[in-house]
Chain A
Amino acid sequence: DGGITQSPKYLFRKEGQNVTLSCEQNLNHDAMYWYRQDPGQGLRLIYYSQIVNDFQKGDIAEGYSVSREKKESFPLTVTSAQKNPTAFYLCASSNRAAEKLFFGSGTQLSVL
């Protein structure tokens, strides 16, 4: 089945630790996105990529990093510089930039 797979579903981070969230899609989509959702809030854009080996910062990129070495994969690293990382992280993809968006099932990140 075609879709977007995020892993892990739950992740715990210790202080000072970097953690990486995985996002893989087999929809052959060019564009991929990372959003952060805090309780009771809408989604805020962290990073997006329209093509392999290229990505742009969104509204809240500080403390995060990404790579886009393959079309299917867009991992997000939450670095120790992100002081408030507890949130629900959603990965999405679309055929072209901001066309109809499809989402993964999300990763809940918590701090120990």
Chain B
Amino acid sequence: GIQVEQSPPDLILQEGANSTLRCNFSDSVNNLQWFHQNPWGQLINLFYIPSGTKQNGRLSATTVATERYSLLYISSSQTTDSGVYFCAVEVDSGYALNFGKGTSLLVTP
């Protein structure tokens, strides 16, 4: 099956810093999504981004499908950004998302 690799696995930032999270995948994909899981376990969909660039406030994402990677940018980080960020991809239409192991982010005051 498809391999989804996220880096770095862990990241500690001071409040106000910027960061870039990376997702590499081993095959062509129809669908790519980024999620944030808060410390209480709730997963929130950040972006549906099979290709191109999207922005939502301090977060933006870029997927370069031809080179099989996606990047999630977090600017001016806040303590509420802490949690785990997951990248998930779909290979075959009508199947389901395959998740990476996530990047665990801690933002300190």
Which residues of A pack against B, CB within 8 Å? 33, 35, 40-45, 48, 50, 58-59, 88, 90, 92, 97-103, 105-106, 108
Contacts and interface: CB of A to CB of B under 8 A. Distances in A.
Contacts of B4: 42
Interface stretch (B11-19, B55-63, B68-76, B87-95): B87-95
Contacts of B83: none
Contact of A101 (B33, B41, B95): B33
A97 B43 contact: no
B38 to A, nearest CB: 10
B31 A98 contact: yes
Contacts of A105: 40-42
Given A97-B96, A98-B94, A41 B42 contact: no
The contact size tier of chain B is 20 to 34
Contacts of A98: 30-31, 90, 93-97
A27 B95 CA distance: 20
Contact of B99 (A42, A48, A88, A99): A42
A106 B99 contact: no
Contact of B45 (A41, A48, A102): A102
Contact of A99 (B1, B43, B48, B88): B48
25 contacts: A35-B99, A42-B4, A42-B101, A42-B102, A43-B88, A45-B98, A48-B96, A90-B41, A92-B43, A97-B93, A97-B94, A97-B95, A98-B30, A98-B90, A98-B94, A98-B96, A98-B97, A99-B48, A101-B33, A101-B35, A101-B45, A101-B88, A102-B45, A103-B45, A108-B41
Given A99-B48, A100-B45, A103-B42, A42 B94 contact: no
Contact of B41 (A40, A42, A88, A97): A88
